[in-house]
Amino acid sequence: MVFLDGDNIVASFSDCEYGQKINGSDVPIPLKEGHDFDEWRLNGVKISFPYTVTQSVNISAHWKKKEYVVTFHYRKPSDTNYFEETKTVEWKDPLPFPELQPIEGYEFIGWYTGSEQGESISNDYKVVGNMDVWAWYKGGFKVDFHPEGGEFDSIQVAYMKNSLLKTYCPTAKRTGYQFSKWVDVDGNEVDDDTPVGNNMELHAVWQEDWVEITFNGNGGIWVEQKTEDEKYDNR
């Protein structure tokens, strides 16, 4: 009896006697690119080990295609951040690209292997491993937020056309100060409800915190009772 992988002989037992047992450890597991070995079959039916020899037969390897995880990154009309969609794809199958909705202010360029740098992916691309796929766009606007001493580094946020500034505006905090407003490079105040229609550079404006200090004589006699306002952390 012979164990075959296609036309290739994996194992051959020419001197078997009727009723002889063949163990699974006696038969090497074959390898095949892009596939996982599934089972041995006789006339399309799975055999089990130990296998009892009753006649001379050919037993064939059965395979399953490897499966890979593909994560698609793309935008939706309601959100400038990238949305992730994961799909399972078999080896050498084409990519099942998601259907993209048009986004005002953006033009879809194509699918790529990276978020900012990468190779273009064609419609006939074949999957051979786990991968991330990114939709690239032209358009949209960028807003730079400068905290001016606040508790975060300067950041740049991508906005879709006419998105309100408050949608992704960072929370401004600074010890000893109260946030006042965001201003543009010309010093003009920019409200949170401002629709973003161009690239912008914004700077935080702060007001110092003041605290009221009352001195209690604890039974003593004041020449003059006094309450003072002091800046936060003043010594």
Residue 55 CA from chain centroid, whole number = 56
Residue type, 179: F
pTM, two decimals, is 0.59
Identity (one letter) of the amino acid at 79? D
Q: pLDDT tens-digit profile of 21-71?
A: 999 999 999 999 999 999 999 999 999 999 999 999 999 999 999 999 999
Spatial contact of 2 and 22, defined as CB atoms under 8 Å apart: no
Query: What pLDDT, in 10s, does the model give residues 67-118?
Result: 999 999 998 877 667 899 999 999 999 999 999 998 877 788 899 998 877 8
| pLDDT in the model for residue 187 | 93
Rounded-to-integer distance, Cα 50 and Cα 30, Å: 18
Q: Please state the rounded mean pLDDT for residues 122-140.
A: 90
pLDDT digits (tens, 9 = 90+) for 194-213: 888 888 899 999 998 876 77
CB 89 within 8 A of CB 96: yes
Most confident among 40-44, 179-183, 213-217 (mean pLDDT): 40-44
In 7-130 the beta strands, taken as DSSP E runs, fall at 8-12, 21-22, 35-42, 45-46, 51-52, 58-65, 67-76, 79-90, 106-112, 120-121
Domains of the chain: 2-65 (no CATH), 68-139 (2.60.40.4270), 141-210 (2.60.40.4270)
